[in-house]
Chain A
Amino acid sequence: MDATRFLMGMPVTVDVPAGTQAVIEAAFARFAEIEARFSPFRPDSEVVRFNALRLVDGEPSEELREVLALAERTRIETDGYFDIARPDGFLDPTGIVKGWAIREVARQIEAQGFADYLVDAGGDIQCRGNAPDGEPWRIGIRNPFDAMQIVKVIAPRDHGIATSGTSARGQHIYDPHQPGRRISDVLSITVIGPDVLEADRFATAAFAMGEGGIGFIEAQPGLEGYLIGADRLAVQTTGFREFVVS
């Protein structure tokens, strides 16, 4: 069964064809728990208290430590293009938490013994096995020029897929090396990776790099990418076509 709810500021879909209501509820409960800990908008979240230097005994939690370590690793791996430090100095790990949360929930579903599932948070997706129709899960890549169209159908198989772009929420990514620069030559970059967290963190960084982002993905082992430019031209990495259905 499947269900969609609004969590972490975005629609979240959990689809476990062989799962029960309890499995779906447990998945959403895990998302809610993660949101409560990491939300930069909740005055009582651990992230807000961490930034205000108001941590209590037993904090930072293992989870916050893990996410901060992942953020730092990503910052180094992407030459600073991925950075959770906001211009106002606040450490906002939202950019890591989304992919991490999807992966956590996917692992929980797997640990419950389900080989077929899809977890989608705001268009970042982890899937495994087959869809209810018995075929591998298929995901569309949205046309940044027309929200009602898709421009590719992808079967990520047991990988994660994530897109960073300007299509849905406007300009929400900036280049840390050129703070005033608008990223306008690239509209979206979709990344397929070993899991959704890898896909997500590298999609964010690659998008911030502009046109060079696709070359960066090409050079990363285990990642494939599809960039859509403002000129309506798409550029794909050499292994991307293995995932293309149509």
Chain B
Amino acid sequence: MKPLRYSLLLGTALGACLAAPLPALAQTHYRDGTYPGPTYSAYYGYVQAQVTVHSGKITEVRVLKYPSDRATSRYIASRALPYLEREVIRAQSGRIYGVTGATLDSRAFVASIDGALRSASH
């Protein structure tokens, strides 16, 4: 068996479940070395693993690539976290250089807040 083949199996297994044990592979003898696997699509993103073999045994499996694209990981996350963070709005203050949400003169608004804060501090 070529290392590529292990990676294919690992890739599939990792795509299904990163924590799954690999009993079938554990029965085989391997050449010592570190073998990065090819990249596979796991539908929601790409997965790539790397296997290190020492004294004929798998000593380490590293995930080199996993679905980190935000849209897809968010899609998955959205299943686990149905609610986005909510809060009751309340007034804030601080030095600002523009106001979004305004179609009025935002600089005038800024100046006005500055003025209000100045009078508030007297």
Residues in A neighbouring B75, C-beta threshold 8 A: 219
Q: Is the CB of A219 within 8 A of B109?
A: no
Which 3 A/B pairs are nearest by Cβ-Cβ distance? A142-B101, A123-B102, A163-B101
Number of A-B contacts (CB under 8 A): 150
B28 CB to nearest A CB, Å: 40
Please report whether the interface of chain B is mostly helix, strand, loop or mixed according to DSSP: mixed
Nearest B residue to A164 by beta-carbon distance?
B101
Q: Flag whether B119 is at the interface (Cβ < 8 A).
A: no
Cα-based distance from A237 to B109 in the complex (angstroms): 27
Of A148, A161, A232, the residue contacting B100 (CB under 8 A) is A161
Of A154, A168, A190, A238, the residue contacting B84 (CB under 8 A) is A238
Of B88, B97, B116, the residue contacting A233 (CB under 8 A) is B88
Q: Flag whether B41 is at the interface (Cβ < 8 A).
A: no
Residues in A neighbouring B27, C-beta threshold 8 A: none
Q: Flag whether B104 is at the interface (Cβ < 8 A).
A: yes
Residues of A within 8 A of B (CB): 2, 4, 10-11, 13, 15, 118, 120, 122-125, 127, 131, 133, 137-154, 161-163, 165, 167-169, 188, 190, 214-215, 218-222, 228, 232-238, 241, 245-246
Of B84, B85, B90, B100, the residue contacting A142 (CB under 8 A) is B100
Of A123, A241, A245, the residue contacting B101 (CB under 8 A) is A123
Q: Flag whether B74 is at the interface (Cβ < 8 A).
A: yes
A244 CB to nearest B CB, Å: 10
Q: List 27 contacting pairs A-B, 8 Å CB cutoff, sorted by A.
A: A11-B104, A11-B105, A13-B107, A118-B97, A125-B98, A137-B97, A139-B98, A140-B94, A140-B96, A147-B104, A147-B109, A148-B112, A148-B113, A149-B91, A150-B92, A153-B92, A168-B104, A188-B101, A214-B84, A215-B84, A218-B74, A219-B71, A221-B71, A235-B84, A235-B86, A238-B77, A246-B92
